[in-house]
Homo-oligomer: A and B are copies of this chain.
Amino acid sequence: MDRNVMKQMLDEKVKNVEQIVYQFLPEATGWQRTVQEAMNYSVQAGGKRLRPLLIKEVYELFGGTGREIEPFMAALEMIHTYSLVHDDLPAMDNDEYRRGRKTTWVVYGEAMAILAGDGLLNFAFETAVKAFDYVKPEEMPKVAEALAVLGRKAGIYGMIGGQTADIEAEDRQEPLTSEQLLFIHEHKTAALIQAAMMIGGILGGADRNEIKLLEKCAYNIGIAFQIQDDVLDVIGDSQELGKQVGSDEQNHKQTYVTIYGLEKSTEDVEKLSKEAVEILQSFSRRNEFLEALILDLIHRRK
């Protein structure tokens, strides 16, 4: 698929995804309205909406036509958002701006940002549980399985596990081993992409083997995306990337590129993304938009 066609479709699809996600946001009302406002401010701060988009695209790839994915799309975006709200806190990364807007704690104060993050994480599960209302009794096991995947990939065996390893690596000031670096990328980044593609597959009717393949496909996407980030830090056009080129090196940060060198890193991005697309192409249906999106994500210049 032509890149421009894909980009145009992407714009449309992201608008549609945002509409779905926003439907599930809480109304800000009552004595607890401030936490609801802070939650909505955080979710409405924009972003690629990649995770809910992936749920929907994979769901449709497997022939899904129902609405039970909608609560999961909103839930996953809430989980992604809460992790940013808590990451930005002074005790974590201490960031005052994200995507050009003031971060949640800067606008609402630290206490309210902690509660807004908690509120989003809790509300994510509250929202996902609503999917049971959209299915027939015999489909309930699929929803339960999707819930289990959501929980595992977001928690200590997924994203929170990766954040923990990342924070400790920064504190320790020792060079990362390649195993540690891959653990962090797999858990901090790939886990929620795995959640997205697996949930789409599970609800769309993928069989056990196909779900395994989706997990592997999403792993490749997440890791390739992160390696490309490291590659761009070295070779990228600083204007396009929006940060100082070579900043990782200046910070003495151990990355995939500092461990394996530029050549192998670039080769690995190629290999991982080729494999990811081959997995997608192995299924009985095709989704050319999804294939083009994934290649674009990984091969981005910024």
Bound: A225/B125 CA distance, A: 29
Query: Any chain B CB within 8 A of the CB of A259?
Result: no
Where chain A touches its partner, the secondary structure class is helix
Query: Any chain B CB within 8 A of the CB of A137?
Result: yes
Residue from B39, B129, B162 within 8 A of A147 (CB atoms): B129
Binds B, one of A10-18, A27-35, A210-218, A247-255: A27-35
Bound: A35/B188 CA distance, A: 14
User: A156 with B31: in contact, given A115-B167, A141-B137 (CB under 8 Å)?
Assistant: no
- For A147, the closest partner residue in chain B by CB is B129
- For A187, the closest partner residue in chain B by CB is B32
Bound: A144/B148 CA distance, A: 13
- For A92, the closest partner residue in chain B by CB is B111
Binds B, one of A45-53, A116-124, A262-270, A294-302: A116-124
Bound: A98/B96 CA distance, A: 32
Report whether B119 and A91 are in contact in the complex, using a CB–CB cutoff of 8 Å: no
Report whether B92 and A35 are in contact in the complex, using a CB–CB cutoff of 8 Å: no
Query: Any chain B CB within 8 A of the CB of A132?
Result: yes
Q: Count A-side interface residues using an 8 Å CB cutoff.
A: 57
Interface residues in A177-220 by Cβ distance below 8 A to B read: 180, 183-184, 187
Report whether B118 and A39 are in contact in the complex, using a CB–CB cutoff of 8 Å: no
Interface residues in A25-72 by Cβ distance below 8 A to B read: 26, 30-32, 34-36, 39
- Spell out A's residues near B (CB within 8 Å): 26, 30-32, 34-36, 39, 82, 86, 89-92, 109-112, 114-115, 117-119, 121-123, 125-126, 129-130, 132, 137-138, 140-141, 143-144, 147-148, 151-152, 154-157, 160-165, 167-168, 180, 183-184, 187
A-B pairs, 10 with minimum CB distance? A32-B161, A126-B151, A91-B110, A31-B165, A122-B155, A35-B164, A132-B144, A125-B125, A32-B164, A140-B140
* 24 chain-A/chain-B pairs, Cβ below 8 angstroms: A30-B161, A31-B161, A31-B164, A31-B165, A31-B180, A31-B184, A34-B164, A86-B114, A89-B91, A91-B114, A112-B167, A115-B164, A115-B167, A117-B118, A118-B160, A122-B160, A125-B125, A125-B147, A129-B144, A129-B151, A132-B148, A137-B140, A140-B140, A147-B147
